[in-house]
Amino acid sequence: MVDADSIKEYMQDHPDKNILLDYNDQFGEELIDIIVPMVYDDIFVLYPSLGKNKSKIPDNIVMYGVMHKLFESESFVELRNQVQYSDSNASIALSTKTNDYAQKSEMMRTQFLRLLEASAASRFMAEAWGSTPSNAMDTSGAMLDIGCRGYGRW
């Protein structure tokens, strides 16, 4: 199960690495604890065939969903705090990361949806076909040798 510690570890959100944040975490555990159930709800709405069993959803898919929502949330903060200041001939923007967070959020969302779709398709194929052997899984070349014998030698 995905928790705040695993998300923060993956994102390297540690106080000693957040110099510009005065050595504080960027994303609080409370926010992550709110977002994790939202991601599971999104999964079950998008792919109801996956069922409601959270333990069957791979953690990496949930992590990408959580990161998507974290970056989206941070883009709201950046948007709220975006201001342009001008003094004489100098113009200073106090917050210019809105688009960066929105772009990163969209990247994480795309990966989340891609992995989620692949997982749902894989689960569907396993349920529909079970464990039927396939030549596609034969990496030794044995099935190719057998198949060629039937057609004679060139």
Question: Tell me, what's the pLDDT at 101?
Answer: 86
Is 27 a residue whose pLDDT tops 80?
yes
Confidence of residue 65 (pLDDT cuts 50, 70, 90): very high
State the average pLDDT for the chain. 80
Question: Tell me, what's the pLDDT at 37?
Answer: 95
Cβ atoms 50, 123 nearer than 8 A: yes
- Find the mean pLDDT for residues 70-88: 80
Cβ atoms 15, 25 nearer than 8 A: yes
Question: Tell me, what's the pLDDT at 134?
Answer: 58
Confidence of residue 139 (pLDDT cuts 50, 70, 90): low
Secondary structure of residue 84 in the 3-state scheme:
strand
Question: Tell me, what's the pLDDT at 43?
Answer: 95
Question: Tell me, what's the pLDDT at 140?
Answer: 54
Q: Give 152 or 118, the one with higher predicted confidence.
A: 118
Residue 24 half-sphere exposure toward CB, CA atoms < 13 A: 6
CA dist., res. 64 & res. 41, Å (int):
14
Cβ atoms 64, 34 nearer than 8 A: no
Is 113 a residue whose pLDDT tops 50?
yes
pLDDT in tens, 50-59: 888 888 899 9
Question: Tell me, what's the pLDDT at 92?
Answer: 60
CA dist., res. 60 & res. 7, Å (int):
10
CA dist., res. 70 & res. 19, Å (int):
19
pLDDT in tens, 86-107: 777 766 666 678 888 899 999 9
Is 2 a residue whose pLDDT tops 50?
yes
CA dist., res. 148 & res. 47, Å (int):
42
Kindly report the number of other CB atoms within 10 A of residue 38's CB atom.
12
Cβ atoms 4, 39 nearer than 8 A: no
Which tokens in the block code for residue 68?
Answer: 């998507």
Enumerate the β-bridge partners of residue 87. Answer: 90
